[in-house]
Structure 1
Amino acid sequence: MIKIIFKWVSILLLTILIFGGALASHEWYANKPFFFRSYLDRTMIKVAFDSPETLTSLGFLESIGIKGHNAELDDSSQKKSDELFHLMKHVKLGIENYSEEELNDSENLSREIALYLLNFGINSEQFRYHNYPVNQLFGIQNDYPSFMDAQHQVNVVEDAENYISRLSKVKLKFEQSLEGLKIREEKGIIPPLFVIERVLDEMTRFVEQPIEENILYSSLKTKIDDSDEISSKQQSAILAKVATQMQESVHPAYQILIEYFTNLKRKASTDDGFWRLPLGEQAYAASLKFFTTTDYTPEQIHQMGLTEVARIQSEILAILASQGYSTEQGFTQSIEILKAQEAFYYPDTDAGRAQILADYQTILDEISIGLDPAFRIQPKAGMEVRRIPKFKEKTAPGAYYQQPSIDGSRPGLFFANLYDIKATPKYSMRTLAYHEGIPGHHFQIAIGMELEGMPLFRRMSPFTAYTEGWALYAEYLAWELGFENDPFDNIGRLQAELFRAVRLVVDTGLHHKRWTREQSIQYMLANTGMALSDVTSEIERYIVMPGQATSYKVGMMKILSLREKAKAALGKQFTLRDFHDVVLKNGAVPLHILERLVDQYIERLQKITKK
């Protein structure tokens, strides 16, 4: 939880209006600048240039020829974490110097959202170590190679030299990360045994594979092969340096964590929920609040999930019956019969996997040209489909989305997991593409990044209930708009929604009701019809990311309820285009703020009618 807070509060404090023009001396140095945005801008600019990885990810300095940051890595030390908490408190005081009366509506909304994030970050300091920063899904051991592969662009020799420089500095970064792991160990916050076993297996395989096959080597080789600016002689020299750094810096860095986790295994247990940690129940409640932006209790969320699971399963069985399937044996067996049909799967070959990626792209291309009736605003950034890198796909989720760069040089990316071919039935593909791509994450995130005149933190705010709620709503919307006319595609959509409803049950089951990992796996298997490999990785995800999985369904239900509220209030005045403008043009926001924005939209149109 705190890692996500750090990431996004850093952006909040780092990057607002980097593109806003020269700031006057007063605006840069005064305790209270004349303009509210100036205060936010200068703080974010100062810290942004202390985060080279953020600068690379944002990708705007390269377009003006500044690349030095691409040779550096972020400071991952505990001292830097302490500085961020201190900075949050300082910035909060600065923001509070501006009263609501002296700001316009847009500025007040920015002020409210900024304070919401800052207050949560400050109040969560007591839980800053309640996480597992190295786990089977994310952590420096796979974030680092993924970052180098997906975000470090290489077009000329200087870019490659910067890449090599980053390889040479990874050992220090791993040592800094170890500081925090040892503090957690002292506090009794130790990952479950399976987490340690997973990361040890991942890191051991990473260092044992031939250097030429390692993603840090092969990725750079592909990039320089694709460059017209790097000669064959230069390529050979670059790759020789990479091989040296792999041996002298990268492998020793991984050995540091391999040794640590090997020794930590003897302290680990097979209990999995947050309830087992010191202050674990309070930390879980805080996590639920952060991810859902609501005050729902774990018990409320659990019961909400049970109700939704029953409703959605009933709808799926009705469709199966209409297609001639027997449903007397109950939900689980009915889904197993459906899953067993080979016609729904691609060949378990390289060619079959390539066809999956091509078909995903076709699905996205098709819907992208048919959304004008529902959307007035659409993203300018393009989107591509890629396979999740093989080195981490075994424990990765079914898919994920990576935002485009701000300058447009890198498109939005939809990463699909092709490890288990049986986890990608054809009838599930449309829904997954709509969720991760269009009109889901790509629409919402890319549009948010492209909004004019809005502070950058509001273009990229970390409100998971909004962002994931929108993506799940997008699945429903695509079906409403006629892009899933095949009844089996609709089953795929309902299965995806069922999956998110089950998450409400198992997340709270694990961390509140003290379910075991095995108990949670069995519940999800029995109630979703998903492949065992997917269920296992999902349950293990909820264990290391408590609360996050509940945000999807909570957010979707809120967006749908607000849409129905607007329809009921406005009647014929209601249009999807208007509603989606309200939801998308303000960036990601907490759900209570989204409700207020919708209420204001309803009030505006009602006033027009009265005139």
Structure 2
Amino acid sequence: MIKKSLKWIGLLILLAILSGATFIAHEWYSDKPLRFKSYVDRTMVKMAFDSPETLTSLGFLEGVGIKGHNADLDDASLAKANELYEMLPAIRQGVAQYADDELDKSDQMSKEIALYLLDFANEANQFRYHGYPVNQLFGIQNGFPSFMDAQHQVTTIEDADNYISRLSQIKRKFSQSLEGLKLREEKGIIPPRFVIDRVLDEMQQFVDKPITDNILYVSLQEKMNKAEQAAQENQESVFNDDVQSRILADVTSQMQTSVHPAYQLFIDYFTKLKDKATTDDGFWRLPDGDKAYASSLKFFTTTDYSADYIHDTGLREVDRIQGEILTILSNEGFDISAGFTPAIEALKAQPQFYYPDTDEGRQQILDDYQTILDEISAGLDGAFNIRPQAGMKVRRIPEFKEKTAPGAYYQQPAIDGSRPGMFFANLYDIKATPKYSMRTLAYHEGVPGHHFQIAIGMEAEGLPLFRKASPFTAYTEGWALYAEQVAWELGFQDDPYDNIGRLQAELFRAVRLVVDTGIHHKRWTREQAIDYMLANTGMAESDVISEIERYIVMPGQATSYKVGMMKILEIRAAAKARLAEQFDLAEFHDVVLKNGAVPLDILAKIVDDYVTEKLK
């Protein structure tokens, strides 16, 4: 379904450009298209067409035979970024020209969400350089290899040549990205010293690795082998030995002349920048840092909650959840007299909860994650009416970046259905994956968490494209954390240790409220935050360090999970109270999911309208 609809969008665009058909051309070129959806869709499509990497990620042009964009990388220059910000007032004017009374209910909601995003972008423009675009978690230095590995599909020689073309452009893109880094330096926005240490170590390891072992080389080689095996099943050949040798020789050449020199640009820059860096970590230390942090909290939570309110809420939730965990541990025979931390350490010391620290043990973790997801997928009929059509696979986070990566993450499927959703698990520290935590993590990242929410939103019929990819973290992460509780409510974590895993995950998000605001508002040091999280979660030290360092480079993002979960539970409780015996959990989930990601206040209105209509 989604593949057909996106192909149709691509064909509409081509028809508008090539044939000039009257209605289609009007919708594409008019200052005010007849349909509001046409205006916002064409605006997003035009932006996407200006970003070849976005087009690759969306994957819909390949469905109509267009692949030329896969040979190019984005323009990462400051001038290009300025172009986007200069476009925003005109886009807002275009959205506002549609009066509410000429729109149906769905379009009115789309207009409200579009104005919300545009107004926030205008308000936050003053803080656009408050951030560290190259850090231990994300940035061109690790995003480019991951993008090429996960999203650049190779099934033909043209695809492989496009891959090589992108390698040839990476020095240009790194040079453009350096413009933004130097501007931030001029403004006094310099990463903390540990961030520079992490990225230097990561990049040095990347260039020191033999080219034939580098992910950019190995990934293309594996894709060609897979395509050749598929072709041979049909008694054909695409990548024979001679073709592969030619292509891999070209990869080696581009690694030497473009890729490695690009990384050396950054290595040289950050080596010099390190002398200017400090060990203060919070946003409070930057120019207008307090205002920038407040703006970040508003963006990520879609609320006006203050840093102090979020901090105090976190402290209360930490106490509550720890109490529930201690009760379960006591029932299981653990000594809780010394308090939370010793009891959790006693639980963690049990060897039966861990896999062997071997390649076989890590493969078993991936296999068991898949089993968990298959099991819950088969048992959700009473709680969900709608399901995503896109499939989902479990994969290990690439080893070159897993040391500083989070415990897991989800990558959405291709919008045309050609690539499934991906649940990436971090297997760097085997002790960070106790068996009792695996169900909760799988439910959060996969089913019924991120995969359900994101894939269902992408596949929703009738929604504008921007609503299929709206960046409302409080909704998306709030849903994933809520999904953990739903799985428990449905009986998928009836083992008391699995329930401890669930509660520890919720405790982890409550602690985030405390440490994120502690670092960026209350001026905690990195070490203070690490100590607090270690003492109050029972997490492995390696995970705690990665998490705290994540919050430092992504201010406010970590607060969205718990804020979003609490709001969704509050909305559900209000719907239950009004509907009483008429409340249907599957219908509630349909209402929450079918509109895509939205700000939390708008979600409350959506559910309230559903309840009102059902009570008529």
Bin for the TM-score computed over the shorter chain: over 0.9
Determine if contact 2:7/2:61 at 8 Å carries over to the other structure: no
Q: Alignment partner of 2:227: what SS? A: coil
C-alpha distance in 1 between matches for 2:12 and 2:520: 44
Q: Quick check: 1:402 aligned with 2:415?
A: no
**C-alpha distance after superposition, 1:480-517 (max 9, x if no partner):** 00101100000000000000000000000000000000
Q: Which residue of 2 aligns with 1:458?
A: 467
Determine if contact 1:15/1:44 at 8 Å carries over to the other structure: no
Q: Alignment partner of 2:379: what SS? A: coil
| Alignment-mate amino acid for residue 566 of structure 1 | A
Q: Which residue of 1 aligns with 2:194?
A: 194
Count, aligned residues = 594
Q: Quick check: 1:587 aligned with 2:596?
A: yes
Shift of 1:15: 12
Q: Which residue of 2 aligns with 1:132?
A: 132
Q: Alignment partner of 2:409: what SS? A: strand
Q: Quick check: 1:337 aligned with 2:314?
A: no
1:398-477 maps to which residues of 2 (within 5 A)?
398-477=407-486
| Alignment-mate amino acid for residue 404 of structure 2 | T
Q: Which residue of 1 aligns with 2:232?
A: none
Q: Which residue of 2 aligns with 1:70?
A: 70
Q: Which residue of 2 aligns with 1:101?
A: 101
Which blocks of at least 5 consecutive residues in structure 2 are unaligned? Answer: 1-5, 16-22, 229-237
C-alpha distance in 2 between matches for 1:186 and 1:538: 29
Determine if contact 1:56/1:70 at 8 Å carries over to the other structure: yes
Q: Which residue of 2 aligns with 1:502?
A: 511
C-alpha distance in 2 between matches for 1:47 and 1:541: 29
Q: Alignment partner of 1:227: what SS? A: helix
C-alpha distance in 2 between matches for 1:489 and 1:202: 35
| Alignment-mate amino acid for residue 191 of structure 1 | P
Shift of 1:16: 12
Q: Which residue of 2 aligns with 1:271?
A: 280
Q: Which residue of 1 aligns with 2:20?
A: none
Task: Go from structure 1 to structure 2 and tell me whether the alpha carbon gap of 1:19 and 1:509 turns closer, same or farther (over 3 Å shift).
Answer: farther
C-alpha distance in 2 between matches for 1:139 and 1:522: 28
Q: TM-score, normalised by structure 2?
A: 0.95
**C-alpha distance after superposition, 1:193-249 (max 9, x if no partner):** 000000000000000011011100111111111112211110111111101100000
Q: Which residue of 2 aligns with 1:205?
A: 205
1:112-191 maps to which residues of 2 (within 5 A)?
112-191=112-191
C-alpha distance in 1 between matches for 2:116 and 2:581: 36
Shift of 1:46: 2.2
| Alignment-mate amino acid for residue 438 of structure 1 | V
Determine if contact 1:470/1:559 at 8 Å carries over to the other structure: yes
C-alpha distance in 2 between matches for 1:15 and 1:510: 46
Q: Alignment partner of 1:414: what SS? A: strand
Q: Which residue of 2 aligns with 1:296?
A: 305
C-alpha distance in 2 between matches for 1:74 and 1:427: 42
Determine if contact 1:17/1:456 at 8 Å carries over to the other structure: no
C-alpha distance in 1 between matches for 2:496 and 2:122: 49
| Alignment-mate amino acid for residue 538 of structure 2 | G
| Alignment-mate amino acid for residue 250 of structure 2 | K
Determine if contact 2:412/2:422 at 8 Å carries over to the other structure: yes
**C-alpha distance after superposition, 1:513-540 (max 9, x if no partner):** 0000000000000000000000000000
Shift of 1:43: 2.0
Determine if contact 2:174/2:262 at 8 Å carries over to the other structure: yes
Q: Alignment partner of 2:319: what SS? A: helix
C-alpha distance in 2 between matches for 1:78 and 1:104: 39
Q: Quick check: 1:283 aligned with 2:320?
A: no
Shift of 1:19: 6.6
Shift of 1:30: 2.1
Determine if contact 2:10/2:64 at 8 Å carries over to the other structure: no
Q: Which residue of 2 aligns with 1:8?
A: none
**More deviation in 17-26 or 126-135?**
17-26
Q: Alignment partner of 1:329: what SS? A: coil
C-alpha distance in 2 between matches for 1:509 and 1:19: 51
Q: Which residue of 2 aligns with 1:10?
A: none
Q: Give the % identical residues.
A: 71
C-alpha distance in 2 between matches for 1:481 and 1:85: 46
Q: Alignment partner of 2:152: what SS? A: coil
Q: Quick check: 1:363 aligned with 2:376?
A: no
C-alpha distance in 1 between matches for 2:222 and 2:394: 18
Q: Which residue of 2 aligns with 1:7?
A: none
Shift of 1:404: 0.3
**C-alpha distance after superposition, 1:257-283 (max 9, x if no partner):** 000000000000000000000000000
C-alpha distance in 1 between matches for 2:424 and 2:99: 44
Shift of 1:47: 2.3
**More deviation in 219-228 or 409-418?**
219-228
Q: Quick check: 1:42 aligned with 2:38?
A: no
C-alpha distance in 1 between matches for 2:248 and 2:37: 45
Shift of 1:48: 1.7
Shift of 1:366: 0.4
Q: Alignment partner of 1:392: what SS? A: coil
Q: Which residue of 2 aligns with 1:237?
A: 246
C-alpha distance in 2 between matches for 1:88 and 1:334: 54
Q: Alignment partner of 1:386: what SS? A: strand
Shift of 1:28: 2.3
Determine if contact 1:16/1:44 at 8 Å carries over to the other structure: no
Q: Alignment partner of 1:60: what SS? A: coil
Q: Quick check: 1:479 aligned with 2:488?
A: yes
| Alignment-mate amino acid for residue 115 of structure 2 | L
Equivalent of 1:384, from 393, 397, 408?
A: 393
**More deviation in 228-237 or 583-592?**
228-237
**C-alpha distance after superposition, 1:52-72 (max 9, x if no partner):** 000000011112211100000
C-alpha distance in 2 between matches for 1:67 and 1:27: 25
Determine if contact 2:188/2:287 at 8 Å carries over to the other structure: yes
| Alignment-mate amino acid for residue 244 of structure 1 | S
| Alignment-mate amino acid for residue 168 of structure 2 | S
Equivalent of 2:561, from 535, 546, 552?
A: 552
Q: Which residue of 2 aligns with 1:4?
A: none
